[in-house]
Structure 1
Amino acid sequence: MDASSRPARRTLRLLVPATAVVCVAALSAGCSPAAAPGPRSSTRAAAAPVAASELEDDYREVIANVLPSVVQIEAGESLGSGIVYDDKGHIVTNAHVVGRTERFKVTVATGEQPLTATLVSSFPEQDLAVVRLEKLPPGLRAARFGDSSQVAVGQIVLAMGSPLGLSSSVTQGIVSAVGRTVSESSEGGGTGATLGNMVQTSAAINPGNSGGALVNLSSEVIGIPTLAASDPGLEGSAAPGIGFAIPVSMVRTVADQIIKYGEVRDSGRAALGITGRTVLDDDYRPSGVAVVSVDRDGPAAEAGVRAGDIITKLGGAQITTITSLAEALASERPGEEVSVTLERAGREQAVTVTLGEI
Structure 2
Amino acid sequence: MDASPSRSRVHRLLFPLSAAVCAIALAGGCTATGPAAPAPEASVPGTAQGAVKRAPDDLQTAYQDVINDVLPSVVQIDASEGLGSGVVYDGRGHIVTNAHVVGDEKKFKVSVATGEATLSASLVSSYPEQDLAVIKLDDVPDGLKPARFGDAEKVEVGQIVLAMGSPLGLSSSVTQGIVSALGRTVSESRSGGGTGATIANMVQTSAAINPGNSGGALVDLDSRVIGIPTLAATDPQLGEGAAPGIGFAIPVSMVKTVADQIIEKGEVTDSGRAALNITGRTVVDDDYRPAGVALVSVERGGAAADAGLRPGDTITKIGSTEVTTITSLSEALANDKPGSKVTVTYTRDGDSRTAKVTLGEI
- TM-score of the superposition, structure 2-length normalised? 0.87
* Preserved CA contact (<8 Å) 2:71 2:114: no
Deviations 1:218-262 (A, max 9, x none): 111000000101111222222111100000000001000000010
* Preserved CA contact (<8 Å) 1:121 1:131: yes
Amino acid at match of 1:67: L
* Preserved CA contact (<8 Å) 2:113 2:165: no
* Preserved CA contact (<8 Å) 1:159 1:203: yes
Equivalent residues in 2 for 1:1-358, closer than 5 Å: 4-6=12-14, 9=32, 11-14=34-37, 16=39, 51-109=55-113, 111-358=115-362
* Preserved CA contact (<8 Å) 1:84 1:91: yes
Give the RMSD, CA atoms, in angstroms.
2.0
CA shift for structure 1 position 335: 1.1
CA distance in 2, matches of 1:50, 1:254: 36
* Preserved CA contact (<8 Å) 1:10 1:203: no
Structure 2 gaps, min length 5: 1-9, 16-30, 42-52
Amino acid at match of 1:276: G
Deviations 1:66-105 (A, max 9, x none): 1110001101131010000001000000001011111111
CA distance in 2, matches of 1:9, 1:152: 24
Q: Choose between structure 1 and 2: higher strand proportion.
A: 2
Change (3 A) 1:308 1:3: closer
Change (3 A) 1:308 1:242: same
CA shift for structure 1 position 138: 2.3
3-state DSSP of counterpart to 1:153: coil
* Preserved CA contact (<8 Å) 1:13 1:56: no
CA shift for structure 1 position 144: 0.5
Deviations 1:157-216 (A, max 9, x none): 000001111111100011111111111111111111111111111111211110000001
Change (3 A) 1:320 1:75: same
Amino acid at match of 2:276: L
Aligned pairs, number: 328
Structure 1 gaps, min length 5: 19-48
* Preserved CA contact (<8 Å) 1:157 1:203: yes
Amino acid at match of 2:12: S
Change (3 A) 1:10 1:174: farther
Change (3 A) 1:10 1:161: farther
* Preserved CA contact (<8 Å) 1:10 1:204: no
* Preserved CA contact (<8 Å) 1:3 1:206: no
Percent of residue pairs bearing the same amino acid type: 68
Amino acid at match of 2:248: F
3-state DSSP of counterpart to 2:253: helix
CA distance in 2, matches of 1:297, 1:15: 58
- TM-score of the superposition, structure 1-length normalised? 0.88
CA distance in 2, matches of 1:224, 1:17: 32
CA distance in 2, matches of 1:3, 1:334: 28
Amino acid at match of 1:167: S
3-state DSSP of counterpart to 1:188: helix
Amino acid at match of 1:138: D
Deviations 1:252-279 (A, max 9, x none): 0100000001011011111101111112
Partner of 2:47: none
Amino acid at match of 2:228: I
Amino acid at match of 1:139: G
Following TM superposition, where does structure 1 have runs of at least 4 consecutive aligned residues deviating by more than 6 angstroms?
none
CA distance in 2, matches of 1:257, 1:127: 14
Amino acid at match of 1:68: P
Amino acid at match of 1:12: P
Deviations 1:107-156 (A, max 9, x none): 01455320010000001111000000111122211000001111111111
CA shift for structure 1 position 15: 5.6
